[in-house]
Structure 1
Amino acid sequence: MDVLGHLVPYSLEWLNLLVRWLHVITGIAWIGASFYFVWLDNNIRPPAPGSELAKKGVSGELWAVHGGGFYNPQKYLVAPAELPKELHWFKWEAYSTWLSGFALLTIVYYFNAQAMMVDRSVADLSSLQAIGLGLGSLVVGWTVYDLLCRSKLGQHDLAFGAVMFAFLVGSAYVLSHFLSGRAAYIHVGAMIGTMMVANVLMLIIPGQRKMVNAMLAGQKPDPIHGLKAKQRSVHNNYFTLPVLFIMISNHYAMTYRHEHAWAVLAGIMLAGVLIRHFFNLKHRGRIAFQYPALGLALLVGVAVAIAPPAPVAGPAVANAKAQFAQVKAIIDARCVACHADHPTQAGFTAAPLGMALSTDAQIVQHAAKIYQQAVQLKAMPLANLTGMTDAERAQIGAWYNAGAKQ
C-alpha cells in the first residue's frame, strides 16, 4: 500500500502534465483555425462582375503568400456546382480540445474536489455537491445560450452580445457564492468552451452535412445552414480571448481570490471582447483604436481596483528571533505539508512552484510570496486545508512588515 500510495499521486501528476499539454496543443489548433477563417472571411474580395469566378458562384477570393508558397483560397456564396472528391472538415480540433479540457477538469478539480472546489468560508459543500454544481453549470450554460441564439434576440448581434455577457457575469456571480474562486472561474471557462464545441457539434457540422447531402442528391443546398454556421462561428471567435484568460487565471490568485472576483472576471472578459472586436474590424479594413484603448483602460481599472493596500511598517520588535520563531512554527504547521522537498500532503509529489519552506533560509527567501499568498490574498493554504487562522495570518503580516528578519 505504501508503494501504491506513493505512485498514485505521482502518476496523476504525469497524467495532469500530459493532458494539459494535449489541451494546449489542440486548443492552439482550434483557436488558430477559428482566427484564420474569421480573418479570411473579412479579407476576401468579391470577383469582378461577369468574370469566370463570378459565374462559378465564387463570392470572394484572396491571394496570399506564406512559407515560400502562393495560396488562392476562394469562398462560394453557397456551394460549388460540383462537390470535390476530397473535402476537409474542421471539427476534430474542437472536439479534441473539449475532450482534453474536460479530462483536465476531472483530474485537477473533480478528483480532489475538497481541496480545489470547496471553500468552506464560501459554502460548506460535499465533494459530490460541488462536482454536481460544476457539471450542471455546463448543461445550463449551453441550454441558455442555444435558446437565446434561436430566439428573435439572436437576430440582433449587439443586443444578443449584451444579454449573453450579462448571463456569463451572472453565472460567475452565482458560482463564486458556492465554489472556491478558482473553481468558479474555471467553470465559467468550461461553460464557454462547452458552448463553443457544442456549436461545432450540434449546428456547424450538421449544417454542413445537410449542404453536402443535398449536393449528393442533386439538389441545391439551402443557404440558411451556412448563415447559421457563420453566426455560431463568429460567436466562437469572440469567446476565445475570455476563455484563454480563464485557462491561465489559476496562476493569478489576485483575480479569483478578490472579494468581488465575479466583477473582476467581468471586466477582464469584456476587455478581451473589445480587443478581439478591434482585430475583426481591422481585418475588414476599418481601424478603430477606441476598442483596444477601452479594453486596456478596463484592464488598468481592474488592476487598480484590486490592488492590495500598501504595507504599513510594523512596530519595532525587541526580539526579532522570537518573532521569527513564531512565524516558523505557523509555517511548519500550516504550509510545510505541501511546501517541502518531500510533501506529506496527499496529492502532492513536489513543492508547488518549487517553493519549499522547510528551512529558515527558505522562509526568508520567499517572505514576499508568503505574505502575498497567506496574508493579502488568503489563497494559501489551499482551501485552508490546514486551518490557518486570521490571528496567524496577522502574525505573518506583522513579521513581514517589520522587515521579515530571521
Structure 2
Amino acid sequence: MDLRYSPFDPGIQRDPYPVYARLLEEAPVYHNPDDDFWALSRHADVVAALRDSDRFSNVNGLRLEPAFWGPDAERFFSFVAMDPPKHTRMRGLVSRAFTQHRVQGLEPRLREIARAHLRPLLEGDAFDMMHFAGAFPTDVISELVGVPEADRARVRELGKAVMYRPDDDADPADLPPEALQAIGALVGYYTELTIERARERRDDLLSGLLDAAEGDDRLTPEEIVGVLILLVGAGIETTMLLLGNAWYAAWRHPDERAGAFGGRVDDWVAETLRHSPPTQTIARTATRDVALHDTVVPAGARVVLLAAAANRDPRVFPDPERFDLDRDTGAAITFGSGRHHCLGANLGRLEARVALQELTSVVADYEIDESAAQRIRSSNNHGFATLPTRITARR
C-alpha cells in the first residue's frame, strides 16, 4: 500500500498511529505535494527542528489551514508564532505574569471546581467524560484569567467552535464561517474584559499581564488579547483532550488502570502525554534548504513536525505502542522543546492530576461505550468529543 499522510484526512485524524509507524521507518522526511508540506517524524529530527528557529521559523503559524497560516498568524497564536527577538520580548513579559507561584496557588480552587462539576455528573451510574473534561479546564483558565463565572460557558463554546468541528462532510482543510465568527467574538469579549481590568485590577492573570513590565516596555492591549486567545486552545482544548485520552487509555489497558486508580496519577498523566498526546503536530517554515536523510527540504517549505510520532519512536521509547506506567517519559516532547517549550506545561499537568485524582476518589471502575464515542475533527489535535462512560462508584 502506498504511504500517504495528510493531517486533513478523516481516517488519519481518527487513528494516526499506524501511519506514524510507517513514516518513522519508511519516510522520516515525507513530502505531500497535494497539501504542500513536508513532515518530520523521528524524535531526534523533531527535537532538532523545535530548537532551531534559524532554520525552522514560527512566523507563519502552527497550523496549515489557510485561515491560520501566513504572516498574520500571530493574531491567533500570539508569541508562539514569533521568532526572536519578538518572541523573546513577548515570552519574557508574559512569563512575568504567568508565574509558577500563580499556577500552584490555584490548586485549592482547582479541586473545588473539579468537585463542583463532578457532583451532578456522578449522581447516576453513567456520564459523558467529555462533559467534565470540557467544563473543568474552561473554568480553570477562566479562574486564572479572571473571566466572570457567568461568561465561562460562552468562552468554552466559542473556543470549541474555533478549534474543531464534528462535521464529517466538510472540507477539513477549511474553517467554517462559524469558526471565524467565534474568533471575532472572542477578540471582542477579551478586549472588553481587558478594558474593564485596566480600570480595576484584581488578583488574576489579566491584571498580571497589564502590570508586566521590562523597564518601560509593557504589553499592549492588543498583545494581551492575543495571549488570552492563545489560552483558549493552549489552555482549554488541550487539557480537555488530555483528560479524555487518559480516561480512554486507562480503560483500554486494565492492568495499567489498576495502578492509575491505585495512586499513580502522575505516571498516568505522563504516559498519556507520551502515548496519546492531545497535540499531534506543530508546523514550521523552512528558512533555507535543509538536508536530512538524503533528502532536501527546500527553503520556504511548510514543515510539519510530528511530535506524536516522535513520542512513539522506537529509537527512544522501546515497545512504543504499549501504554506503560513504568516507562521513563522524560524524553517525550508533547510540550515542545527549546525556547518554545509550552509556558503552561506545569498548569496542564496540575489540572490533569487534580481532575484524575478527584475522579478516582469517587469512581472505583468504569466501562466506556466505544461504539458511541466520537472523536474530534482537527488537523493538529487528537481526542474525543464524546466519551460515554458507565461507572462503579466507590463505597
Question: Which structure: larger Rg?
Answer: 1
Give the number of the structure whose residues are more often strand, by fraction: 2
Give the number of the structure whose residues are more often helix, by fraction: 1
Higher relative contact order (CA 8 A, sep 6+): 2
